[in-house]
């Protein structure tokens, strides 16, 4: 064990008095939480340490821009109790920091990938050597010359054979003309002689073509044999690299064994075999949360509450705000923490909890064809992975004779406002066509957590899902889908900005990301737990909807003001 990672070095006592703070009755639900006061205190104490410590250096880009990746970092604190009841906390960072996994005051990794004497680094160096060998062979002068000669000879052979076939075609047409003319002008004996001559000429051309083709076949075969002598060496090295990489990955998976409170250890491969992913994603187990629990359970410490916060400069594609708290990532941590926290009494998952009463989902407009409701915030439009309750389910129960998909469009769970429902397939098809043709007019109102300088404009930032942390979205110019939003400021007061959003496209979390991202308005929507700071609710509301009635064609305009 590294001397940094004794319990004496990793267990941190609170510097402030905590007697007035009640311990939480249940442990934090890691994927949606309000930080407990003890976690806020622990995070503040760790942040002070990050600013004052001199044992190591890393430029987090807090007050200036730093070029590169992995500048900012996610940190975690886990409030724990020793067996004697002493209260303190553990600290961790995700991945590595300052090119190391070992820093004083922080818990160790599950496995140290950076240990130069460990199997991972040793095997990684061997694989790196193979990469260098492959690169050297692929850039060897004789190999490149052979490749060039092969390509040139293939091209020349194709051209020569094509030209000779064209010559044979012209000669054949010419012989046909000679024959036709000779039939008129020559006697039978002379005609027979000419015919035989023409036949022999045809046979000679065919023979010469065959000789030419065989010559090129032999030349290309010799070239290919020479080329194969290089290619086989390269392919053998690539196969060795593939085999070594797979074996290394499996050996690494075997090293990632995760404990729970009962001391039961389960490997990362076994954990992810029960998920849709099947195979652990890169970096599984390297986040702060699994490190914290591993150390706590190893040293018989009781977890009380946890929180994770971002420190420093945000990655270009993501939205991470300095000192803001964030939930644990889902793709990597959700399966792992499912095992590690087994048997621990935990706060309720708000998505699984009962949500709304029927009278909270008010009907704004209804006739025999369509329904428009005012969806409350924090209620799903359609069933999710963890709960069936949704607008769709409620509408299906309310209108059992309705046909078709019912919902014409969706609103994010956290967004309130006007939602359009069709009672039959024909109406649904008509209304969806209006949405696809972008003839439906939509307006959202949002309260932003800060002052926006511009009065109006268009935000154009392509979006894609964060594969490591669904449903978060990333700005991605390479793989993202086009996303455009028109905005107009309608009020500024008390350090907040109220805006109207007019979405030109309809991507997941489009308005939330466009508001919060530095290349957008750089001002998150108030209460945005994913891209800003959690509050009582997300202050985003779909307040206006205009469309043509699917049956009558009459324009329908509906407006419901937000309650903020």
82-106 exposure pattern, b = at least 16 Cβ within 10 A, e = fewer? eeeeebbbbbbbbebbeeebbbebb
Averaged pLDDT, 22-48: 96
Tell me the C-alpha distance between 557 and 555, whole Å: 7
Rama region for 419: left / alpha / beta (φ>0; ψ in -120 to 50; rest): beta
Q: Which of 410, 563, 444 is nearest to 512 (CA)?
A: 444
- Return the residue matching tokens 């699984």: 352
> DSSP 3-state assignment of 110?
coil
Tell me the C-alpha distance between 143 and 449, whole Å: 61
Q: Which of 517, 510, 516 is nearest to 484 (CA)?
A: 510
Asked if the model's pLDDT at residue 1 lies above 60, the reply is no
Query: pLDDT tens digit string along 458-503?
Result: 999 999 999 888 889 999 999 999 999 999 999 999 999 999 999 9
Tell me the C-alpha distance between 427 and 467, whole Å: 35
Would you state the structure tokens that stand for residue 22, as one six-digit string? 């009640």
Question: Which residues make Cβ contacts (< 8 Å) with residue 268, sequence separation at least 6?
Answer: 253, 256, 257, 258, 280, 284, 285, 336
* Contact status, residue 90 vs residue 105, Cβ threshold 8 Å: no
Domains in the chain: boundaries: 3-111+256-340, 134-252, 358-559
DSSP code of 8? H
Averaged pLDDT, 115-120: 89
Asked if the model's pLDDT at residue 6 lies above 60, the reply is yes
Question: What value does the mean pLDDT of the chain take?
Answer: 94
Averaged pLDDT, 17-28: 96
Query: pLDDT tens digit string along 127-186?
Result: 999 999 999 999 999 999 999 999 999 999 999 999 999 999 999 999 999 999 999 999
Task: Please provide the size of the chain in residues.
Answer: 564
Tell me the C-alpha distance between 301 and 92, whole Å: 15
Averaged pLDDT, 377-405: 90
Q: How confident is the model at residue 388 (pLDDT cuts 50, 70, 90)?
A: confident
* Contact status, residue 351 vs residue 360, Cβ threshold 8 Å: no
- Beta strands per DSSP E along 455-514: 456-460, 463-465, 473-475, 484-493, 496-503
- The pLDDT assigned to 3 comes to 61
Q: How confident is the model at residue 313 (pLDDT cuts 50, 70, 90)?
A: very high
Cα atoms in the 13 Å half-sphere on the side-chain side of 530: 26
Q: Which of 271, 310, 319 is nearest to 288 (CA)?
A: 310
- The pLDDT assigned to 349 comes to 84
| Cα pseudo-dihedral 426, 428, 434, 440, rounded to 10 | 140
Query: pLDDT tens digit string along 497-510?
Result: 999 999 999 999 99
Does an H or E element contain 179, and which? Answer: helix 141-185
Asked if the model's pLDDT at residue 528 lies above 90, the reply is yes
Asked if the model's pLDDT at residue 360 lies above 70, the reply is yes
Asked if the model's pLDDT at residue 94 lies above 70, the reply is yes
Weakest-pLDDT range from 42-51, 383-392, 410-419: 383-392
- The pLDDT assigned to 355 comes to 64
Candidate list 112, 412, 449, 529, residue with the active-site label = 412
Tell me the C-alpha distance between 18 and 41, whole Å: 9
DSSP code of 376? P
- Beta strands per DSSP E along 262-317: 265-267, 302-311
125 exposed, middle or buried (CB, 10 Å; 0-12, 13-18, 19+)?
A: exposed
Judge whether 412 counts as a catalytic residue: yes
Asked if the model's pLDDT at residue 53 lies above 90, the reply is yes
Give 159 or 385, the one with higher predicted confidence: 159
Q: What angle do CA 28, 33, 37 make, to 5 degrees?
A: 75
CATH architecture designation of domain 358-559: 2-Layer Sandwich (3.30)
With pLDDT > 90 as the criterion, what percentage of the chain qualifies? 90
* Contact status, residue 41 vs residue 138, Cβ threshold 8 Å: no
Q: Give the helix ranges, DSSP H, for 256-287.
A: 268-273
Cis peptide before 471 (omega within 30 of 0): yes
With pLDDT > 70 as the criterion, what percentage of the chain qualifies? 98
Phi, psi angles (nearest 5°) of residue 309: -135, 155
Q: Which of 288, 383, 385, 266 is nearest to 332 (CA)?
A: 288
Phi, psi angles (nearest 5°) of residue 476: -145, 115
Q: How confident is the model at residue 353 (pLDDT cuts 50, 70, 90)?
A: low
Averaged pLDDT, 277-301: 95
Q: How confident is the model at residue 384 (pLDDT cuts 50, 70, 90)?
A: confident
Q: What is the largest CA-CA distance in the chain?
A: 128
Averaged pLDDT, 355-383: 90
Q: How confident is the model at residue 210 (pLDDT cuts 50, 70, 90)?
A: very high
- Return the residue matching tokens 């012989």: 175
């Amino acid at each position: 064990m590294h001397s940094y990672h004794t319990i004496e070095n990793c267990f941190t006592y609170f510097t402030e008095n905590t007697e007035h703070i009640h311990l939480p009755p249940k442990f934090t639900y890691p994927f949606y939480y309000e930080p407990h006061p003890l976690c806020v205190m622990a995070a503040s104490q760790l942040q002070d340490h990050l600013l004052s410590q001199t044992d190591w250096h890393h430029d987090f880009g807090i007050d200036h821009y730093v070029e590169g990746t992995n500048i900012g970092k996610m940190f975690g604190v886990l409030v724990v109790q020793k067996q004697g009841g002493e209260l303190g906390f553990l600290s961790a960072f995700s991945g590595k920091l300052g090119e190391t996994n070992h820093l004083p005051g922080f818990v160790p990794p599950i496995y140290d990938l950076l240990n130069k004497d460990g199997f991972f680094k040793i095997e990684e160096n061997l694989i790196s050597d193979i990469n260098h060998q492959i690169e050297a062979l692929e850039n060897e002068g004789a190999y490149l010359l052979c490749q060039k000669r092969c390509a040139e000879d293939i091209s020349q052979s194709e051209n020569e054979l094509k030209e000779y076939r064209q010559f044979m075609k012209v000669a054949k047409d010419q012989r046909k003309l000679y024959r036709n003319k000779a039939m008129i002008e020559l006697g039978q004996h002379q005609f027979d002689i000419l015919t035989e001559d023409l036949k022999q000429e045809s046979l000679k051309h065919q023979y010469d073509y065959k000789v030419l083709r065989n010559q090129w076949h032999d030349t290309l075969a010799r070239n290919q044999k020479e080329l194969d002598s290089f290619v086989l060496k390269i392919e053998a090295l690539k196969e060795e690299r593939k085999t070594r990489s797979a074996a290394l990955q499996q050996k690494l998976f075997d090293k990632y064994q995760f404990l729970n409170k009962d001391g039961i250890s389960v490997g990362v491969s076994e954990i992810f075999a029960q998920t849709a992913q099947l195979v652990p994603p890169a970096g599984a187990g390297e986040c702060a949360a699994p490190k914290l629990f591993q150390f706590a359970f190893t040293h018989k410490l009781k977890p009380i509450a946890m929180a994770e916060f971002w420190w420093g400069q945000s990655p270009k594609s993501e939205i991470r705000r300095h000192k803001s708290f964030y939930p644990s990532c889902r793709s990597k941590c959700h399966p792992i923490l499912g095992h590690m926290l087994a048997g621990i009494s935990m706060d309720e998952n708000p998505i699984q909890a009962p949500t709304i009463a029927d009278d909270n989902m008010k009907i704004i407009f209804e006739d025999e064809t369509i329904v428009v409701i005012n969806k409350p915030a924090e209620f799903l439009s359609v069933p999710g992975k963890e709960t069936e309750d949704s607008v769709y389910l409620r509408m299906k129960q309310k209108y059992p004779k309705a046909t078709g998909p019912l919902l014409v469009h969706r609103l994010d769970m956290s967004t309130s406002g006007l939602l359009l429902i069709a009672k039959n397939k024909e109406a649904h098809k008509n209304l969806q066509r209006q949405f696809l043709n972008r003839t439906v007019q939509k307006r959202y109102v949002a309260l932003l957590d800060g002052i926006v300088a511009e009065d109006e404009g268009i935000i154009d930032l392509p979006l894609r899902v964060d594969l490591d942390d669904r449903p978060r979205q990333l700005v991605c110019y390479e793989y993202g889908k086009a996303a455009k939003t028109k905005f107009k400021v309608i009020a500024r007061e008390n350090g907040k900005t109220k805006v109207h959003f007019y979405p030109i496209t309809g991507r997941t979390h489009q308005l939330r990301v466009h508001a919060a991202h530095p290349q957008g308005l750089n001002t998150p929507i108030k209460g945005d737990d994913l891209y800003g700071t959690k509050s009582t609710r997300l202050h985003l509301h779909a307040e206006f909807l205009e469309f043509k009635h699917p049956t009558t064609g009459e324009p329908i305009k509906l407006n419901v003001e937000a309650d903020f």
